[in-house]
Structure 1
Amino acid sequence: MSQPAIVKHYTRILALWPKDLLRPNLPFTRTIERRATPYGVKPVSPPIDEAEKKTAAAAAKPAPIAKSTPQAELPQINALFSLLENRYSKKYPVSPGVFKPTSNPEHYERLMEEIERAPKKSWFQAKMDEWKMKIRWQ
């Protein structure tokens, strides 16, 4: 596999990768970009703001990614495409009963509703929900 092909694949992956609504400040695309940068891929993530710079500076610096050979990069690209295409959930489907445990059948439905609501909450609403979860209502 040639370097232009690697750049093309990584660029396509970055364009197709879904946005993380729960953690917009920690997108997985940054990891992909860092992996692809030695091959000449330009970052598509917005630049890091001041608050994130402070957090990043406080964290330990990870070891730099060594540029691998183009042939060694092919399995990495294939793995990312397999995640994008949901190959594993299609190959190994889960029975509907797994998502409706007898002890709490609505658990996963409520969880998905909460995940959808989370990005729209204000700071105060998030804190109130956090406090509510710490108190056991019986």
Structure 2
Amino acid sequence: MSAKTILNHYTRLLTLWPRDLLRPNLPFTRTIEHHGAPFGLKPLERSPQETAPKNATPVPAPTSPPNPAAEQAQVNALFSLLENRYSKKYPFSEGVLKPASAPEHYKRLMAEIERAPGKTWWQAKVDEWKGKIRWT
């Protein structure tokens, strides 16, 4: 496998990888960019939300020359995650996502995760306080 092929795979992964709406300041694409940098991968343009935190220290580039054969396994693993290969191969049973003790738990959790990016700071704080108060 050539370095150019690895570069093309990493570039494709960057374009296909979904955005993390819950944590826009910590996108997984930064990790992909870091692994592809020795092969000549150029970082994506960042949106204002994706700027690096002020206290973040840059990760140094690897000093050893890139090994395309070893990197191919990394690329394959990323594509398998992107395609949900494991959730298709090992599907969940109904009981996992709807436990008898709280059958609506995961449904409410996913709804909260979908609402989270649109919340203001104040709404997030109010929800946090609501979570700490036990209503009987």
For the criterion TM > 0.5, the same-fold answer is yes
- In 1, are the aligned partners of 2:25 and 2:53 still within 8 Å (CA)? no
- Aligned residue pairs total 134
In structure 2, the CA distance between the partners of 1:2 and 1:48, relative to structure 1 (3 Å rule), is farther
Residue 107 of structure 1 pairs with residue 70 of structure 2: no
In the alignment, what sits opposite 1:15?
A: 15
Q: TM-score, structure 1 length as denominator? A: 0.89
Seq. identity, %: 62
Query: How far is the alpha carbon of 1:47 from its aligned partner?
Result: 6.8
Q: Deviations over 1:34-85 (max 9, x none)?
A: 1100100111141778x7341214xxx6564344311111100000000001
CA separation of 1:110 and 1:129: change in aligned 2, threshold 3 A: same
Between the aligned partners of 2:87 and 2:47, the Cα distance in structure 1 is: 33
Give 3-state SS (helix, strand or coil) of 2:19's partner.
coil
40-49 vs 85-94, which moves further = 40-49
- What value does the CA root-mean-square deviation take over the aligned residues? 1.8
Secondary structure of 1:56's aligned partner = coil
Residue type of the partner of 1:106? Answer: E
- Secondary structure of the structure 2 residue equivalent to 1:34: helix
**Which residue of the partner structure matches residue 56 of structure 1?**
56
Q: Is contact 1:29-1:45 (8 Å) kept?
A: no
* Mean CA deviation greater in 113-122 or 67-76: 67-76
Secondary structure class of the residue paired with 2:56: helix
Give the alignment's TM-score, normalised by structure 2.
0.91
SS at match of 1:10: helix
Q: 1:136: how far off?
A: 1.0
Which residues of structure 1 form unaligned runs of 5+?
none
